[in-house]
Each structure stands twice: as C-alpha cells, then as structure tokens.
C-alpha cells in the first residue's frame, strides 16, 4: 500500500516544470466542484479539453474554466495533444471509457469505483500495461496529510498493536433522480460511499483482508443498496468494519483501536479544500489533538499522478495494484451479500 509517501513533495520540488495535458470525460458534480478547480490550481496540469455527451454543456464548462477546446468523449480521446484523461461518468461506464482511453494511449484517473467487477479491473490493467499507460482510481483522501500522520503514528508504535478499524461514510438520502440512486448506472451506497472506509482499512493495516462479510439493505423503489455494513478480517485476528449509508446524519470518519491508544478522525474522507481537520488521540484518559490546515487532496492526487508520469514511474506508485485489490474486495462484498456468507478473498479470481 503506497498510494502516498512522505517523499511526494520532495519529488515534486526536484522535477522539471513540465505539465501533463488533461482532457475531461464527463462533467459530474464532483468534477465541477472539486477536480477541475484542483486542475486549474496545479502547476503540473494543463486543463486542455472538456468532453461531454452534451456539446452545450461542454462549451459552458470549458468557458467557466477557461478551456479552449471541447467536444464529445470520442473527440477527447482522438485529440493527440491530450496526455491523460480524468473520467467522471456513471459507474457503469467506467470500464468502457477507461479501456478506450488506454487504447488511445492516454493515462487515466478514473472516479471510484474504477471497475464494477474483478474481471473488469483485470481487463483495465491488462489494457493499460499493453499500451504503456497508467491508471489511478480516484480515492483522493489518501493524499491528505492527516492520513500520512495516522500511518506515521502507527509505525511509531503510538497505538501499540492494532486491534480494530471502524470507518463510516454516510449522508442524507439522495433524490430519486440522483445518479447514485440509479441501478442501471451501478449506483448505491456500496459503490458511492463504502469504497472509502474499505480503502482506509487497507491503508491502516497495510495489507489486504483475508475474508469479507457484507450485509446490504436495498431500497425497494430504486433497487440500489442504501446501507452497507462490511466486516473485513485481516491477519492476526484484526477486524475492520466499513459502513456506508444513504439517509443518515452526515458522517465521514474512521477510528483505529490499538493496545495502547485509539485514534479517531474528525473528518476523514469528504474534506473541502478550505476546511481544516483534526486527529484525536485517546490515551491514558487524555485526549491529544493534532490539527491540519486546509488542504486540497484532489490537487495533491493530481500532482502525484503527474509526477509519476513525468518521471516515468521513478517513484514506483502501485496505482494498478491498488485498483485491482480494491475491486476484489468489492466483488467479495457483493458475493457475500448475495449468498449470505463469509467470502474468502482467495475465492475472487
């Protein structure tokens, strides 16, 4: 697990001030609100083209972000000046357009989940390798400094031996028209929210789980899951509970229990770029706070991805390995819910 390292900033300071020319495929809310502004603020990104199925939408977004070129998805991939694409489409379209982008010789950052099945993830990675391009699943929270600090405290032994992880992402019920409530687009809380605490548990334990047990609660009208509780078994009896909810009070947090202390996050996953955060360390009946200034983790993700491309992989980021491992867990979770049993990760092949 090496999505982030303390050397990110150092590496960026040393490299040449080249830029990666990005095209955007899909004008989603997260793209417009978070990712495109981060691209505009990054010194390593040139936002070169906006792609939408609606040409008027593409023109409007291009104008808003001072981009001179726009078109449909295919035209973005046909643009020889584009080095990489950011894909922000419905989950059901991620595999198709990520593979098309790889075949067009473009590096890819794809919104999570990048693939809906383990077989699809393997197809994506095989295509990327064949075309000598990189693919990163956009779990941007890994790049926030607060998570680096959590890893540092664990490595320093502040928590002692790790016992349990407990993470949750939940928010108010989406409107029926929201894409997250569309079964044919692979919506639902598992794909929209649970991916974050699942990934965070892998980061904390620095390994992959042994088995998965998942219980989904389905919405009878839309047919998508609105609640997900996933129990992940790690080595040495360590456990992780990853939960996601539509229709809850907003929660974006995780905690890690050890034999010496407990760490809990104030706001772990969906952190606006203008919001500071805190980590709380409970030990010996005392609570210590560590504060972090506002940070744009989308920008840090983009900078790291560009650095990896510009240095031809000198930092050895395991983007594709992490994408494959994350997708494997999600598939195990779906199988567990469908068959009402514990699924060993080794079953997913």
Range of the domain at 74: 8-140+304-317
Write the burial class of residue 185 (CB in 10 Å: 0-12 exposed, 13-18 middle, 19+ buried).
middle
- Given a cut of 70, whether residue 3 has pLDDT beyond it is no
What does the pLDDT average to over 248-276? 97
Number of domains forming the structure of the chain: 2
Q: What is the pLDDT of residue 317?
A: 87
Q: What does the radius of gyration of the chain's CA atoms come to, in whole angstroms?
A: 20
Q: What is the pLDDT of residues 70-88, one digit of tens each?
A: 999 999 999 999 999 999 9
Mean pLDDT across the chain: 94
Same structural domain for residues 113 and 165?
A: no
Judge whether 23 lies within some domain: yes
Give the C-alpha separation, 211 to 336, whole Å.
10
Range 130-147 average pLDDT: 98
Looking at the fold, whether 312 and 335 belong to one and the same domain comes out as: no
Q: Are residues 122 and 211 in the same domain?
A: no
Q: What is the mean pLDDT of the segment spanning 31-40?
A: 97
CA dihedral sign, ordered 149, 155, 158, 161: positive
Residues 190 and 50 in one domain: no
Inter-axis angle of helices 195-205 and 319-339, nearest 10: 120
Measured at the CA of 113, the angle between CA 291 and CA 238, to 5 degrees, comes to 60
| 3-state SS class at 304 | helix
pLDDT at 133 over 70: yes
According to the model, what pLDDT value does residue 213 have?
98
- Examine the pLDDT at 5 and tell me if it is beyond 50: no
C-alpha span between 206 and 145 (Å, rounded): 17
Is 323 inside any structural domain?
no
Per-residue pLDDT at 17: 55
pLDDT of residue 313: 76
Residue 56 has pLDDT above 90, yes or no: yes
Give me the sign of the Cα torsion angle 188, 213, 318, 145.
positive
> Which pLDDT belongs to residue 341?
98
Residue 19 has pLDDT above 60, yes or no: yes
Q: Among 234, 291, 277, 227, which residue's Cα sits nearest to residue 257?
A: 234
Predicted pLDDT at 315? 76
Per-residue pLDDT, 1: 46
Same domain, 277 and 338: yes
Residue 3 lies in a domain: no
Band of residue 232 on the pLDDT scale cut at 50, 70, 90 = very high
Does residue 288 share a domain with residue 163? Answer: yes
Q: Based on the domain organization, do 80 and 198 belong to the same domain?
A: no
pTM above 0.75, yes or no: yes
Q: Are residues 119 and 174 in the same domain?
A: no
Higher pLDDT, 7 or 194: 194
- Of the pLDDT bands very low, low, confident and very high (cuts 50, 70, 90), residue 247 is very high
Output the CA–CA distances (angstroms, integers) from residue 108 to 10, 114, 131, 173, in the order listed: 24, 10, 12, 31
pLDDT at 14 over 90: no
CATH number of 223's domain: 3.30.360.10
pLDDT of residue 7 exceeding 50, the answer is: no
pLDDT band of residue 314 (cuts 50, 70, 90) is confident
Position 278 confidence tier, pLDDT thresholds 50, 70, 90? very high
Condensed to tens digits (0 to 9), the pLDDT of residues 152-204 reads 999 999 999 999 999 999 999 999 999 999 999 999 999 999 999 999 999 99
Distance (Å, rounded) from C-alpha 117 to C-alpha 327?
6
Confidence of residue 28 (pLDDT cuts 50, 70, 90): very high
Residues 157 and 208 in one domain: yes
Q: Are 1 and 305 in contact (CB under 8 A)?
A: no
């Amino acid at each position: 697990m090496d999505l982030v390292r303390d050397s990110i900033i150092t590496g960026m300071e040393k490299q040449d001030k080249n830029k990666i020319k990005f095209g955007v495929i899909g004008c989603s809310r997260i793209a417009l609100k978070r990712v495109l502004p981060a691209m505009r603020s990054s010194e390593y990104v040139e936002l070169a083209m906006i792609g939408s199925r609606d040409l008027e939408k593409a023109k409007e977004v291009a104008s808003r972000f001072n981009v001179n070129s726009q078109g449909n998805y295919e035209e973005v991939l046909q643009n020889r000046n584009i080095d990489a694409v950011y894909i922000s489409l419905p989950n059901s379209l991620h595999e198709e357009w990520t593979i098309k982008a790889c075949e067009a010789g473009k590096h890819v950052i794809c919104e999570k989940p990048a693939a809906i099945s383990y077989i699809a993830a393997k197809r994506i990675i095989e295509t990327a390798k064949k075309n000598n391009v990189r693919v990163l699943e956009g779990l941007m929270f890994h790049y926030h400094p607060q998570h680096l600090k959590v890893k540092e405290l664990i490595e320093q032994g502040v928590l002692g031996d790790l016992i349990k992880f407990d993470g949750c992402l939940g928010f108010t019920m989406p409107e029926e028209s929201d894409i997250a409530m569309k079964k044919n687009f692979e919506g639902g809380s598992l794909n929209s929210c649970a991916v974050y605490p699942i990934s965070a548990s892998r980061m904390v334990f620095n390994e992959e789980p042994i088995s998965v047990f998942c219980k989904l609660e389905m919405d009878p009208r839309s047919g998508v899951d609105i609640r997900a509780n996933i129990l992940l078994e790690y080595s040495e009896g360590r456990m992780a509970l990853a939960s996601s909810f539509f229709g809850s009070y907003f929660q974006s947090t995780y905690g890690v229990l050890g034999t010496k202390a407990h760490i809990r996050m104030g706001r772990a996953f969906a952190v606006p770029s203008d919001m500071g955060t805190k980590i709380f360390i409970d030990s010996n009946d005392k609570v210590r706070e560590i504060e972090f200034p506002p940070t744009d983790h989308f920008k840090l993700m983009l900078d790291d991805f560009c650095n990896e491309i510009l240095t031809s992989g000198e930092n050895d980021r395991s983007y594709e390995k992490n994408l494959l491992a994350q997708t494997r867990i999600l598939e195990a979770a779906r199988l567990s819910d469908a068959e009402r049993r514990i699924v060993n990760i080794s079953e997913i092949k």
